Amino acid sequence: MGSLKPADSEGLGFLATRVDELINWGRKNSLWPMPLGLSCCGIELMAMIGPKFDLARFGAEAARFSPRQCDLLVVAGTLTWKMAEAVRVIYDQMPDPKWVIAMGVCSSSGGMYDSYAVVQGVDSILPVDVYVPGCPPRPDAVIDAIIKLQKKIERESPVRRLLKGPGVIDETGTGRNFKQPNFAFDHSSLDLHPHDPKAKIEELQK
Amino acid sequence: MTATNTRERVAAALEGLTFELVDTRDGMLTLRVPSATVRTVLERLHGRAGFEQNTLVTAVDRFPEEPRFDVIWQFLSYDHNDRVRVETRISGANPSVPTCTDLWSGASFSERECFDMFGIRFDGHPDLRRLLMPQGYTHFPLRKDFPHGGIEPDRLYREWDAKRRAEWGANA
Amino acid sequence: MTSHVFEYTRGGNNEPVPDSDDPVHGKPMLVNMGPQHPATHGVLRLVVELDGETMHSIDPDVGYLHRGKEKTCESLGWHKFFPHTDRLDYVQPLMNNCGYALACEKLAGITVPQRGQDVRVLLMELSRVMAHLIYIGTTSIDLGAVTIFFYAFRMREEIYTILDAYSGHRMNNTYVRIGGVYADVDDTVEALIEKFLAETPARIDEIEKLLSANRIWYDRNRGVGVLSVADCKRWSLSGPNMRGSGLAFDLRKAQPYSGYETYDFDIPVGTVGDAYDRYLVRMEEMRQSIRICRQAIERLKKTKGEDVLVEDRRYVLPPKGAVMSSMEELIAQFKIVSDLRLPKGEAYHAVESSKGELGFYLVSDGTSRPVRCHIRAPGLMNVQAIPVLAKGRLLSDMVAIIGGLDFVMGEVDR
């Protein structure tokens, strides 16, 4: 795809749509989740990968415990402020493109823990794509979230980013040397929320 | 073992020390001792009365009252299959009690937790750090004058985040 | 800047490894395991100082799941704390419910009706099987036996089905109340439990057949993390860890509650006190739990239709049907939910959970808000014992030690 040249805008439009679809099709059906089992929801996450619910049917069963190998962060459970740094670093270490599911009410909004130690929703430190209510949500609900996320991935346009060229490659592997965001839509910027339509429009106009 | 037997055994072990028995709802033998002699009481309970295991070390904050903190120890004897609870009242200003980690090693984390949550120092504890809250935390959450929602709960994270962003540049 | 993940202050009792010029035993290496690590069973962080591959000092750092449960209890009140107890040791929610309810009942001075006690025993023993299945599933996946994970979760799913039919939710059921249980076990649930009890012993055998004589499992667990009985007493360990070392002390027998003294079951004990013994003890405990469940089901069949909740309107919610039709009952329900008062005093009650002695120490001043609710978590003591067991061993043994001690961070951090 490196040979694509943005010379002929008409032809590009046609071709880009097709490549987008191809890439999205590949991405959405081979999500590699990072199971961040923080508390109770982690057990249901295990049950979801287990025999009865069998996440492999949706192509997302290849759970890896190294963030470098994952593109889907499932924050399953209560996030405390003490743990928040670690979660943020895990998120930053994941290669782009990446998506986040906030599993359970604790990671969606703090849930029943309105206390001094708990982060009131993981979206105060990370951008979240899908929120799953429930305490803990049933595995069916999380599978539904993954299907919703697949639909969301379908609507993305990855080629636009490919044409912009690669970002700075992280040679040290620590994630500390990134001088440029390694995300499609400035995911890491808290000021530009990925769901904010204005941010998206600005991005497209560049 | 019946409660009477426990009481006799403990009374024999604590001979010459002052303590008063407290009525509790669960019927466990509960001793209230002055904070000055609490260390001796614990030593005797460990050595003479044969309480081999420390079940818990914790505190109760009676906030508006002064002296403010009740420190609670609870022990279990496997041979006699009975329990005893020791309570002492200490002041809220610079609260401290002697440690019992040299007698029961398992009390170490309980004492650290009690220090973390109430700010009660256990004198002689070899490693009195915070246990549950991060090391830089400055409050004692289980004190009654600490609000449930916390005071700036995200301060440490925000400080770390600001420094990280400064390191990585404006985009990160 | 303070960073509790990247920066580390050395604890007082971990003396540093002496530096030397020896190329093999040169400078010690500090390895950070966790808080996100596949083998730490939750958000436990271990700072390990390595001399070569040998662990020189281990500093467990807990609190990454500290949610302030005790403070929450103080601000919520007695009744509203029940859902929070589920999430303590979240692999066995009903056990925690029962422990807290028993402590509250001690404080209130009420006794649960016989049928209520039998239902509780049934639920507690099912919870114990659930918790031990998590132990065997996660530990075996850490030690390389992936099949066992699927076998264990297949069995857990059956318990989930039972609890789903009973309470309407798979986990975190909150079905125990002060004075009994919320609802009776009906015929559907009974049939499901009987089916489960009939099938499970063969499945436990299946797991044991795959593991007990398995070369890898045996070699990685045998002689790892040896604990003497004296060590267990000194380090406040209890439950299967204590019994694995050879002391037959079980709170269900020693200080019985909920009528456990009337059930017929055995206490398995180990001989050596290593991780392999603890594994054998847990497997046998599952079989004993099933034995207790069978007896409980038999009793429930005989006492059909009796009360499962005590008839004491000071502490017990009125029946839901009456609340919907009568103003007085509605007020009574409102009073109990928002303003339940337990008598002044203090009480401690411990239950034999799957991890050890799970105790609740409650202090009441007679108002609707507890003065103190201390949760004596067995898991915290198990975490505390990690350095004792792991010091001087190889780093790869850490996985077997953590798995063998068996703790759940929800309970450790509270």
Chain C residues within 8 A of A112 when measuring between CB atoms: 83-84
Interface contact A136-C71, CB threshold 8 A: no
Q: Which of C3, C5, C64 to mutate to test the interface with A (most CBs of A within 10 A)?
A: C64
Q: Which chains touch A (3 or more CB pairs under 8 A)?
A: B, C
Q: Which pTM does this prediction carry? A: 0.84
What is residue C177's three-state secondary structure? strand
CA angle C178, B144, C346 (to 5 degrees): 40
Interface of B with C in 67-96 (CB under 8 A): 72, 74, 78, 81, 83, 85
What is residue C97's three-state secondary structure? helix
Q: Which residue, C96, C71, C67, C68, is CA-closest to C372?
A: C71
Select from A116, A179, A188 the Cβ nearest to the Cβ of B153.
A116
* Enclosing domain of residue C280: 69-307+345-413
Q: How far apart are CA B44 and CA B56, in angstroms?
A: 18
pLDDT in tens, A15-68: 555 677 888 888 888 888 888 888 888 888 888 887 888 888 888 878 888 888
Per-residue tokens: C139: 């530990």
What is residue B133's three-state secondary structure? coil
What pLDDT was estimated at residue A180? 40
Provide the shortest C-alpha distance from residue C348 to chain B (in Å): 6
Provide the shortest C-alpha distance from residue B16 to chain C (in Å): 27
Q: Name, in order, each residue with C-beta under 8 angstroms of C387's C-beta and a sequence gap of 6 or more.
A: C57, C58, C59, C60
Q: Name, in order, each residue with C-beta under 8 angstroms of A10's C-beta and a sequence gap of 6 or more.
A: none
Could you tell me the pLDDT band of residue C396, with boundaries at 50, 70 and 90? confident
Decide if pLDDT at C10 tops 70: no
Instruction: For each of the domains in chain B, give its residue range(s) and CATH number, in order of start.
Output: 3-168 (3.30.460.80)
- Length of chain C measured in residues: 414
**CB distance C339 to C310 below 8 Å:** no
Could you tell me the pLDDT band of residue A14, with boundaries at 50, 70 and 90? low
What pLDDT was estimated at residue B71? 92
ipTM of the complex: 0.89
Q: Write the CATH number for C234.
A: 1.10.645.10
**CB distance C158 to C194 below 8 Å:** no
One CATH from 3.30.56.10, 3.30.565.10, 3.40.640.10, 3.40.50.12280 for A1-206? 3.40.50.12280
Domains of chain C: total: 1
Q: How far apart are CA C191 and CA C197, in angstroms?
A: 10
Strand pairing report for C345-353 and C180-181: unpaired
In A, minimum Cα distance to C37 occurs at: A65
Tell me the mean pLDDT in the region A158-181. Answer: 50
Could you tell me the pLDDT band of residue C288, with boundaries at 50, 70 and 90? very high
Exposed/middle/buried for B64, CB within 10 Å: 0-12, 13-18, 19+? Answer: exposed
Exposed/middle/buried for B69, CB within 10 Å: 0-12, 13-18, 19+? Answer: buried
What pLDDT was estimated at residue C16? 55
Chain A residues within 8 A of B157 when measuring between CB atoms: 81, 84-85, 125
> Residue C352 falls within a domain, yes or no?
yes
Cα dihedral C36→C38→C43→C45 (10° resolution): -70
Write out the DSSP string of chain A. -TT--TT-HHHHHHHHHHHHHHHHHHHHTS--EEEEE-SHHHHHHHHHHSTTT-GGGGT-----SSGGG-SEEEEESPPBHHHHHHHHHHHHHSPSS-EEEEEHHHHHH-TT--STTB-S-GGGTS--SEEE-SSSPPHHHHHHHHHHHHHHHHT--HHHHHHH------SSSSS---SS--STT-TT-SSS-TT-HHHHHHHHH-
How remote is the C-alpha of C275 from its chain's centroid? 18
What's the one-letter identity of residue C266? D
Q: Which residue, A4, A7, A135, A12, is CA-closest to A76?
A: A135
Q: Name, in order, each residue with C-beta under 8 angstroms of C219's C-beta and a sequence gap of 6 or more.
A: none
> Residue C48 falls within a domain, yes or no?
no
> Residue C57 falls within a domain, yes or no?
no
pLDDT in tens, C130-156: 999 989 988 888 888 888 888 888 888
**CB distance C88 to C66 below 8 Å:** no
Percent helix, strand, coil in chain B (nearest 5)? 30, 25, 50
pLDDT in tens, C216-236: 888 888 888 888 888 889 888
> Residue C315 falls within a domain, yes or no?
no
Per-residue tokens: B123: 């004198």
DSSP C317: P
pLDDT in tens, B103-114: 888 899 999 999
pLDDT in tens, B89-147: 998 888 889 998 888 888 999 999 999 999 899 988 888 888 888 888 888 998 888 88
> Residue C339 falls within a domain, yes or no?
no
Chain A residues within 8 A of B160 when measuring between CB atoms: 85
Neighbours of B28 (CB within 10 A): 19
For chain B, first and last CA: distance in Å?
66
